[in-house]
Chains A and B, each alone.
Chain A
Amino acid sequence: MCVLATAGCKAPEKPRYTVDTALAEQGRAVIERAGCAACHEIPGVAWPRGRWGPSLAGFGDIGLIAGAVPNTAENLSAFLRNAPAVKPGSTMPPIPITPDEARAAAAYLYGIDDDV
């Protein structure tokens, strides 16, 4: 199983994003304060590990946010604050965080795949 999984992968690429680690650290605090993990499993956040929303492990590698919107830092920050406005019909509700907090949270999410 392990072999199959690794054989299916390409050689490790360079991370697609350069992550500002100080900002990412702030982002983790934002994510913990906002309770994002009530719905998501988020690497680096020990508790909770909510299962109502998708796991965010390896999120930085995906091309489309929630399968719909190009995965750019700007789109992601907007999505985190008001998902239904960015992706009509999204089941993730708006989360009460400021634009700066959303940018920090986005930086953290992009940093995740660098850790594993």
Chain B
Amino acid sequence: MFDLVKELTGAFGVAGNEENIREVIKNKIQNVLDEVYVDTLGNLIGVKRGNGKKIMVAAHMDEIGVMANFIDEKGYIRFSSIGWVSPFYALGQKVKFKNGTIGAVFYEEKLDEMKNLKLSKMYIDIGAASRAEAEKKVSIGDTAAFVGEAVQEGDMIISKALDDRSGCAVVIETIKNLPKTENEIYFVFTVQEELGLRGAKTAAYGIKPDIAIAVDVTLTGDKPESKPMEVKCGAGPAIKIKDRSVICHPEIKKLLEDCAKRLNIPYQFEILEEGGSDPGAIHLTAGGIPSGAISIPCRYVHSPVETANINDLKHAVMLLRESLV
């Protein structure tokens, strides 16, 4: 599982630029499923045919990042964010453009107080001596992802883009261990989740499933002086009850809870006070699709050191698999 997570988190896929990660995932699922295709927005969809219920499984393959928007005469690059990027998380980090160019992210030293740090006061230094030199490697409009190679310490994985490559890993493992079922299952690796759940919306409309289950990360309350939240790393996958974008359908919540009980695996319930997720778009689509989610508890979400427990991923695979039968 760790090797898969490492490979997936290492692939480039800033929202709107998911080509690389899509290729990586496609290669892993294409011989296992009945059909694999890419839709108009770039969602990767793998289908297991059947005559039963139509189930959509969604994990977003895009990641947050930055976009170059100005290069000054000295070759420093100004940028804006793709998805929600905290200036504090970005400070002192490395970013990597799609062509492999790496840059340091730092800030204007004139800043009076650190709490006033904004992305607009920051820049990327790719070691170029002039605008002309910088432009050989980076054009405005190019996107870059944060650098943060996956490592494992005990049961914990630390990496960039666990949001939501950990979810992609759970779905890929499920595809490789498909349960026997008559259900027709659409495994969707969605694009542009970080820009407002956009891929999931068109995928759901195209598929019109009977129900949908997403796999994504959620926040936790288990850090020093955390905001109170019951979800903990290592206490099992979380069954989503609500976030800012959706109240999960009671039937899907019950389905997942019944599966977890049947498997006798640890599980928890998630109430997320901030942020949305793919079910938020899916449940409103095409006359209403009952939707829910399996969430992987993850600390420091949207930083290059996102941290999750590998056992929660393994249990999430078991839970997802059971829910598809």
A and B together in one complex: no
- A-to-B contact residues, CB < 8 Å: none
- B-to-A contact residues, CB < 8 Å: none
